[in-house]
Amino acid sequence: MKMSMREILLAWITTVILVLGGTYWFGQSKVQDWKATIRERAALVDRRKIAERLLGNQTAINQRLALIRKQLPQHPADKDVTAELLRTLEKMAQENNLILLRREPEKEKNVGDLYEVAILCTWEGDLDAVVHFLYALQSQGAILDIHQMTISPGQSPGRLKGTFTMDCAYTREGSGLGSVKTEPVTAKK
């Protein structure tokens, strides 16, 4: 059987199209994998730069951490500090004209060398009282921190109500906080 030049050309074009189509169909997933690998590599390079910058600043960060840890109050190992924390919270609320309707402390949590008690509070007051109360909490430094806060309109005009969760941080005597080593860590390549 003899094929004409036109048939040979059509067979050759069909073969080329099938080869190119098959290559595209099989290679498409590989190209997507290759692009994903390039994106992941770029992200890793960025993360490495950030890590190297943080390692370069480690001494300054450790010094700041030591200063913050020195601000934390220290309590005896066997003392229940929940009542003292509740009194402090109530005093700050009264000084700023914020009414605490309910205070529910959670159990003490040990977070490494630090200890933490969360107190869930329901409150009521005007905007000025809330702002001054939050400012008073912020001025306490690392000791007291509002974790979550909700605010909604109250029953009378100008009144607000809501809830907040306050985290209270402190240390215990003998927890080893004073002997924490802050040696620089070197990056391994």
pTM assigned to the model: 0.59
User: Residue 146: what pLDDT?
Assistant: 87
DSSP per residue, 24-78: HHHHHHHHHHHHHHHHHHHHHHHHHHHHHHHHHTHHHHHHHHHHHHHHS-EE-TT
Q: What does the block give as tokens for 48?
A: 């490495």
- More confident site: 95 or 139: 95
- At residue 133, φ and ψ (nearest 5 deg) are -65, -45
pLDDT digits (tens, 9 = 90+) for 19-75: 998 888 888 888 888 899 999 999 999 999 999 998 888 898 889 888 878 878 888
162 close to 149: Cβ distance less than 8 angstroms: yes
